[in-house]
A and B are shown apart, each in its own frame.
Chain A
Amino acid sequence: MKIRATAAIMECLLEQEVDTVFGYPGGTILNLYDELYNYKDKITHILTAHEQGASHAADGYARSTGKVGVCFATSGPGATNLTTGIATAYMDSSPVVFISCNVSEPLLGKDAFQEVDITGIAMPITKATYLVRDPQTIPDVMRQAFAVAATGRPGPVLIDFLKNVTFPNVEIDYEFVPWSKNRSCSSIQALATSHELKAPEPDMGDVDTLVDMIAQSERPLLICGGGVVRGRAHRQFQEFAEKLDAPVAITVMGGGGFPGGHELTTGMIGMHGSQASNVACNECDLLIAVGCRFSDRVALDPASFASQAKIVQIDIDRSEIDKNVLTDHHIIGSAKRVLELLNEKLSQYSHPVWKQHILPLREPSIPRNSEQLTPKQVLETIRRLAPQDTIVATDVGQHQMWSIQHFHFDYPGQLLTSGGFGTMGFGLGAAIGAKMGNPDKVVIHTTGDGCFRMNCHELATVEHYHLPIITVVFNNGTLGMVRQWQNLIYHQRYSQTTLDRGPDFVKLAQAYGLKGFRVTSLAEMEAAFQAALDAGCGCVLDCRLDMDEMVRPMVAGGAHITDFLLK
């Protein structure tokens, strides 16, 4: 059947069961948006205030739903505005298909208006990029792009269509192939054959070796990494942890992979890891990391990391093995499948002495007394009043660490945070995406005054689409995390971190047509947060905090994991 090329692009989105896209139109992508007008009943488009917001929204949508996010942008500045979002998705292995359009063929390479080589720019921060010059390849490219983004280790993919490919008079052969069937369509089949693709079925010998290692271990420790979340392997992971009866440390990306309130949880590990996690890591004799790349924020000093332990890495990506920390054993495969196989073979273990040694250490450190409102009071109020399945999107910095330390995340997609790339301004976009994908859940966006200022224009999007997102600003008038480093490591030389400036976030919220609340005490926090939950519209809570509040515990970068700078 012959259809318009742009219609084929939309049909390909429908093949993948895409019903929500985020984006921002412009000159070269006009034809695509014109076609979108015909599909407005089937595909909801969320127009953000900035392409970066759209990229984070698509990412947040993907993380919270487990589906592939889709984001549109025009050529040139539209495309380059996506790059921070693409890199954020890449570092955290989030499946997003970015679609941009470029100038038409005769202008390509002529430095035409709004022309940029976005496929070249995006190459190091995507799993694959496609420059589409021949309209006949549209179905193949679209199907392949979604397959690449979603399978194996997920990640972002970028498709750049030349404008002439999308001209309304261009027609191509197209046949609707539903998602479940198009995995066997020509281009993916060709890819599979050329790469001698096999399902990444774990090696049974490797699994047996680990079962033996577990049998010999007296002090095992589990690390729940982002792979458990992306692979939606939380049930298998919990069964594994309970069978092994071992403490479980959770990385930033692993939040939601294992119940935060579980009796085996030791909390975060690494730079701001709990005593329990970091001491356990140092003293364990077997460390099993699932879907974790041992980044420099977890394995602060790779040489001394878990030095008494045999280290076992379970990962879907071969190139992660031995990348940051040398391992003793590894199993390659999806977290879900590997853990299923392990659970079948594993008998019930019990490690009461080891647990008794580690688990009592997890009692949270007592924050210093303060006349002012403390971050802990803010977070505990939220935890007490919000439903347990509330989705939390964070920005980056102190409030991010506090949020992850204080909230208990129970399912994958409940915590949305830029753990790998550390993108300030990620949270509000991600919250918008999460709310679009999970309309029934409460979505809270925690942020700092520095982060919020970076992308607060997305409040316009929150207002326009009536998204009842609650933004909680940890407003301490400084770039708190950087100030903390300056305080502890740079001899209190607070270079360019004090944010003694506007805007007034309450008035800002009101200017966008939302509700704003100033919060300076616990009582005000309780009242404001309850009002925000009941408001049914976007709200901003401007929580005034002391600028010298610190994230505890803390281990300096590169230091030994139990060498606490702050307890």
Chain B
Amino acid sequence: MKKEFDSQKKLYTLSILVRDIPGVLSQVARLFSRKGYNIESIVSGETDKPNVTRITIVLIADELMINQIADQCRKLIPVLSVKILDEATSIQREFALIKVKAADRSARDEVIQMSNIFRANIIDVSRDTLTVAIFGDKSKTAALIGLLEDFGILEIAKTGTLAIERGRSTIYDDNKLKEEYNYGKNVL
């Protein structure tokens, strides 16, 4: 029987382990542009293993597309493993720095209060600005940004989404797609 694929487009998160060699990020990223996919966010950082980098990419796709892109990714020589994380079994967080206008004392107090409710931190103060650091999932940062807009946001610096699986399972586990494990990497 033909496999049923969910044709609904939604946000997918891909966790990709790569060997840390020059050009690896552009090699991974160009796969997405080639297929005309739009990357919502991309984050890259080192891992517990030397010379291994973890790239987390969030994109809007349907199930068939995300499987295709994961398979294409696995073919790249520097890519060690690829995992599609779903929202239910993974934790997703992002980090944002928001510089807000706070012209007078009452504005300043209000921003600080708001930040406290969101458990955000004030990391810099000047005579007429405050810089807020917030860490949380996408909806939390979006909510705070929405509220702070009333005061006038001067600039925002934001990471993309980071994601990790809940519980014991890790990206190193043997629990990936049957195809990936039974057949190994088919470039060699």
Contact = CB atoms under 8 A, between A and B. Distances in A.
* A complexed with B: yes
B185 interface: yes
A326 B7 CA distance: 13
B182 interface: yes
A147 interface: yes
Given A151-B188, A191-B188, A319 B30 contact: no
B127 interface: no
Contacts of A333: 183
B3 A198 contact: no
A162 to B, nearest CB: 13
Given A148-B188, A332-B186, A123 B179 contact: no
Given A131-B22, A327-B2, A328-B1, A317 B184 contact: no
Nearest to A323: B68
B72 interface: yes
A316 B71 CA distance: 13
Contact of A322 (B67, B75, B182): B67
A250 to B, nearest CB: 24
Given A123-B27, A194-B19, A328 B185 contact: no
Nearest to B67: A322
A208 interface: no
Contacts of A123: 23, 26-27, 30
A188 B183 CA distance: 18
Nearest to A183: B188
A242 to B, nearest CB: 28
Contacts of B68: 319, 322-323
Given A195-B80, A319-B74, A120 B23 contact: yes
Interface residues of B, number: 30
Nearest to A319: B71
Contacts of B75: 127, 317-319
Interface string A186-227: 001001101111111101000000000000000000000000
A124 interface: yes
Given A322-B3, A333-B183, A152 B188 contact: yes
Contacts of A327: 2
Chain A interface category by residue count: 35 or more
B184 A195 contact: yes
Contacts of B147: none
B187 interface: yes
Nearest to B19: A194
Given A319-B74, A322-B67, A192 B23 contact: no
B77 interface: yes
A128 B77 contact: yes
A196 B80 CA distance: 9
Interface string B166-183: 000000000000011111
A153 interface: yes
B77 A200 contact: no
Contacts of A520: none
A442 to B, nearest CB: 36
Q: Which of B26, B68, B179, B187 has the most CB of A within 10 A?
A: B187
Tell which of B22, B34, B72, B75 has the most Cβ of chain A within 10 Å. Answer: B75
A119 interface: yes
Interface string B21-54: 0110011001000100000000000000000000
B64 interface: yes
Contacts of B186: 152-153, 200, 316-318, 332
21 contacts: A123-B23, A127-B77, A127-B187, A128-B77, A131-B22, A152-B188, A153-B186, A153-B187, A188-B188, A191-B77, A191-B188, A194-B80, A196-B181, A199-B184, A200-B186, A318-B75, A318-B179, A322-B67, A326-B5, A328-B2, A332-B186
Interface of A: 119-120, 123-124, 127-128, 131, 147-148, 151-153, 188, 191-192, 194-201, 203, 311, 316-319, 321-323, 326-328, 332-333
Rank and list the top 9 A-B pairs by shortest CB-CB distance, nearest first: A319-B71, A198-B184, A195-B185, A152-B186, A128-B77, A152-B187, A332-B183, A151-B188, A197-B184
Given A120-B26, A123-B23, A326-B2, 7 more contacts: A194-B19, A195-B188, A198-B183, A200-B183, A321-B71, A327-B2, A332-B179
